[in-house]
């Protein structure tokens, strides 16, 4: 059984709750034998990266490693998430050569959408 949930709270408190859940065991029958299995806690995290609009190509390229996200999620599911979050589709942008070096090992990433910053009266982005 897989239970999906979203948490919200002070990170320290959320981390404490997750740590406690990781130590739980559940009874289970396998081939008629009583066993105990450890609860598996697998994060599915929603992140918001905030940066200057001019850096979109660099950030997309850095996070994906190639300039395109994993994009394994069907487009209609991304559409639903964008609608729920009030954000727009990630535009096609050119990926520059100078990317931020980051590790992608054992990490899958799915780009959901973008939200442009409000600008002040002088046109400056209010990150």
DSSP state of 42: -
Token pair 């950030």 is at which residue? 59
Backbone angles phi, psi at 94, to 5 degrees: -75, 135
Q: Give the tokens for residue 82.
A: 């964008």
Write down the pLDDT at residue 66.
54
pLDDT per position as a tens digit, 83-126: 999 999 999 888 887 778 788 777 778 889 999 999 999 989 88
Domain ranges of the chain: 1-43, 46-127
pTM of the model: 0.69
Rounded-to-integer distance, Cα 119 and Cα 16, Å: 38
Q: Give the tokens for residue 80.
A: 């639903």
Q: Let me know the angle formed at the C-alpha of 45 by 104 and 87, rounded to the nearest 5 degrees.
A: 100
Backbone angles phi, psi at 69, to 5 degrees: -75, 170
pLDDT per position as a tens digit, 19-51: 999 989 999 999 999 999 999 998 888 888 999
């Amino acid at each position: 059984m897989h239970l999906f949930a979203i948490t919200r709270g002070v990170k320290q408190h959320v981390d404490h709750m997750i740590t406690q859940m990781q130590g739980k065991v559940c009874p289970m029958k396998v081939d008629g034998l009583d066993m105990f299995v450890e609860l598996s806690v697998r994060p599915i995290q929603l992140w918001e990266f905030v940066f200057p609009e001019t850096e979109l190509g660099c950030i997309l390229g850095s996070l994906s490693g190639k300039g395109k996200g994993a994009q394994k999620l069907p487009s209609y599911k991304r559409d639903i998430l964008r609608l729920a979050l009030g954000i727009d589709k990630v535009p096609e942008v050119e990926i520059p050569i100078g990317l931020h070096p980051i590790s992608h090992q054992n990490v899958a990433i799915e780009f959901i959408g973008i939200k442009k910053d409000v600008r002040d009266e002088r046109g400056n982005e209010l990150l």
